[in-house]
């Protein structure tokens, strides 16, 4: 793509812009320049408004100062900032005049580091022909960086979209120093979200080492770094199962890789859950840092996702009422029951004449396993019965009765 409009005699002559597709979705613009010998390099920041139009800002050294320019690959304008280091923003809703509709304009910003505090100086909104398309959905990621000598590891879990809803992560204040695994693991979890047996559950995992050979040397024969993502039931606080587990050691130390997955949720039922990341390692004196990532597009949208199922699935598949323990008891005992689907649960205690003695449970419960304690301190010694009746939301009912003995 010729850029003759950008040619400036004696200083800078853009030659071409080519576009390279990354991960079947993202684009990066490769910009080549012809310069006079011994001239200073220019600095670039590249972004893409959509899948067809590239944008970039660049700084150029003119008469002892750095001038800043913005281009849409066919024309350019000088922006009202100066400095060497530039960034290209996504823009924000802006009204060219009080009567005009909102548009989303591109903005350039220059990093000012001449004196503390350092800051970014933003340009004014550039004309409408540089407008940038508004993002339709923000996707989130959360991860960590690990550093020990020549070992530099990275892991990120995110791009989590469940039934077309992008799932964010819990708040992680920047004022906290996440320099140890305990502090990190406290903020490596998502906000609550609903999942059902028919949910479309898509996520991406990225991991690896900057230098796999150097990392293998630090890991040695027994060193490891383990990343585990679990699905946790909000009501019970119990782990439903492992979404993905990755154990990196000397044998499989590798460079960064990004892989999208599609989780099979057919056995999960309907429940509120969180995804929780846990990081463990046997390496001592390791440095850690928290990573927050954001994107205005689903980076896995055009990638083939690998289908996975929950590992170490801790789901209830059948109805059951267990024998109380201890039995005989005095005066307390424990009763366990489980339900594979959401439903209304009634658990009552009766004497040998069939008279109701106590109601232990009478409420709606989600699928799972439950424990109830019964205290018979106010009752006489003898034989009692406990009965559970479950009216499942799926239309199925379950009834079971068991005997227990109170012995004082």
Structural domains of the chain sorted by starting position, each given as residue range(s) with its CATH number in brackets: 4-130 (no CATH), 139-309 (no CATH), 320-406 (2.60.40.2550)
DSSP calls for 87-111: EE---EEE-SSTTSPPEEE--EEEE
Angle at Cα 186 formed by Cα 180 and Cα 187, nearest 5°?
100
- Whether the CB-CB separation of 46 and 28 falls below 8 Å is answered with yes
- Of the candidates 20, 13, 18, the residue with the CA atom closest to the CA atom of residue 31: 18
Angle at Cα 259 formed by Cα 255 and Cα 262, nearest 5°?
160
Two structure tokens written together for 27: 């684009």
pLDDT per residue as tens digits for the range 170-196 = 998 878 888 888 888 889 999 999 999
- Whether the CB-CB separation of 95 and 102 falls below 8 Å is answered with yes
pLDDT per residue as tens digits for the range 12-32 = 333 333 333 322 333 333 333
Angle at Cα 40 formed by Cα 39 and Cα 43, nearest 5°?
140
Conformational region of residue 184, where left means phi above 0, alpha means psi within -120 to 50, and beta covers everything else:
alpha
Cβ-Cβ contacts under 8 Å for 320 (sequence gap 6 or more): 337, 338, 400
Provide the β-strand partners of residue 261.
203, 306
Conformational region of residue 406, where left means phi above 0, alpha means psi within -120 to 50, and beta covers everything else:
beta
Query: Per-residue confidence of the chain (408 residues) as pLDDT tens digits?
Result: 233 333 333 333 333 333 333 223 333 333 333 333 333 445 555 554 444 556 677 777 766 788 887 776 566 778 888 888 887 776 555 566 666 666 656 677 888 888 888 888 888 766 543 554 444 567 888 988 889 998 888 889 988 999 989 999 999 887 888 888 888 888 999 999 999 989 999 999 988 888 888 888 999 989 998 899 999 988 778 788 899 988 888 888 776 677 889 999 887 878 899 999 998 899 988 888 888 887 755 555 656 788 998 886 666 778 999 999 999 999 999 999 998 888 999 999 999 999 999 999 999 987 778 889 999 999 999 999 999 999 988 788 999 999 999 998
Q: Is 306 helix (H, G, I), strand (E, B) or coil?
A: strand
Two structure tokens written together for 375: 């205290």
Q: pTM for this one?
A: 0.52
Two structure tokens written together for 179: 């320099």
User: The dihedral of CA 220, 222, 223, 224: what is its sign?
Assistant: positive
- Of the candidates 34, 275, 282, 46, the residue with the CA atom closest to the CA atom of residue 140: 275
Conformational region of residue 232, where left means phi above 0, alpha means psi within -120 to 50, and beta covers everything else:
beta
Angle at Cα 27 formed by Cα 24 and Cα 28, nearest 5°?
135
Q: What Cα–Cα distance (Å) separates residue 60 from each residue in 47, 66, 207, 366?
A: 18, 5, 36, 63
Q: Is 246 helix (H, G, I), strand (E, B) or coil?
A: strand
Q: Is 353 helix (H, G, I), strand (E, B) or coil?
A: coil
User: The dihedral of CA 239, 244, 250, 251: what is its sign?
Assistant: positive
Q: How far apart are CA 372 and CA 334, in angstroms?
A: 6
- Of the candidates 300, 311, 223, 219, the residue with the CA atom closest to the CA atom of residue 267: 311
Provide the pLDDT for residue 19: 32
Q: Count Cβ atoms below 10 Å from residue 63 Cβ, excluding itself.
A: 5
Provide the pLDDT for residue 15: 31
DSSP calls for 175-224: TS---SHHHHHTS-BBPPEEE-TT--EEEEEEEEESSHHHHHHHHTTT-E
Q: How far apart are CA 232 and CA 124, in angstroms?
A: 46
Provide the pLDDT for residue 94: 57
- Whether the CB-CB separation of 356 and 317 falls below 8 Å is answered with no
Provide the β-strand partners of residue 103.
94
Provide the pLDDT for residue 36: 34
């Amino acid at each position: 793509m010729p850029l003759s409009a950008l040619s400036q005699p004696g200083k800078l002559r853009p030659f071409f812009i080519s576009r390279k597709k990354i991960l079947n979705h993202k684009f990066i613009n490769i910009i080549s320049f012809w310069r006079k010998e011994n001239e200073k390099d220019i600095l670039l920041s590249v972004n893409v408004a959509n899948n067809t139009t590239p944008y970039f800002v660049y700084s150029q050294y003119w008469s002892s100062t750095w001038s800043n320019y913005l281009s849409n690959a066919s024309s350019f304008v000088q922006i009202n900032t100066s400095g060497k280091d530039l960034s290209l923003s996504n823009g924000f809703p802006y009204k060219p005049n009080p009567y005009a509709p909102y548009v989303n304009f591109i903005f350039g910003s220059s990093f000012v580091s001449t004196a503390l505090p350092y800051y970014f100086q933003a340009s004014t909104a550039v004309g409408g022909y540089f407008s940038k398309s508004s993002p339709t959905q923000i996707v989130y990621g959360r991860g960590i960086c690990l550093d020990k000598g020549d070992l530099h590891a990275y892991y990120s879990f995110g791009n989590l979209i469940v039934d077309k809803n992008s799932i964010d992560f819990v708040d992680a204040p920047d004022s906290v120093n996440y320099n140890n695994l305990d502090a990190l693991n406290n903020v490596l979890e998502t906000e609550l979200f609903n999942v059902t047996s028919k949910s479309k559950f898509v996520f991406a995992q990225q991991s690896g080492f900057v230098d796999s050979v150097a990392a293998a040397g630090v890991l040695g024969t027994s060193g490891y770094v383990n990343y585990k993502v679990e699905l946790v039931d909000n009501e019970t606080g119990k782990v439903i199962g492992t979404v993905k587990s990755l154990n990196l050691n000397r044998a499989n130390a590798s460079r960064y890789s990004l892989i999208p997955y599609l989780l099979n949720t057919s056995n999960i039922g309907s429940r509120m859950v969180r995804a929780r990341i846990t990081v463990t390692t046997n390496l001592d004196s390791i440095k850690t840092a928290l990573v927050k990532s954001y994107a205005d597009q689903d980076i896995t949208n055009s990638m083939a996702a690998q289908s996975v199922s929950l590992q170490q699935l801790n789901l209830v598949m059948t109805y059951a009422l267990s024998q109380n323990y201890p039995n005989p008891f005095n005066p307390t005992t424990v009763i366990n029951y489980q339900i594979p689907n959401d439903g209304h649960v009634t658990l009552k205690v009766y004497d040998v004449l069939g008279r109701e003695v106590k109601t232990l449970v009478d409420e709606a419960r989600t699928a799972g396993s439950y424990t109830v304690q019964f205290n018979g301190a106010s009752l006489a010694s003898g034989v009692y019965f406990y009965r559970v009746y479950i009216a499942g939301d799926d239309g199925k009912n379950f009834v079971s009765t068991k005997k227990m003995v109170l012995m004082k």
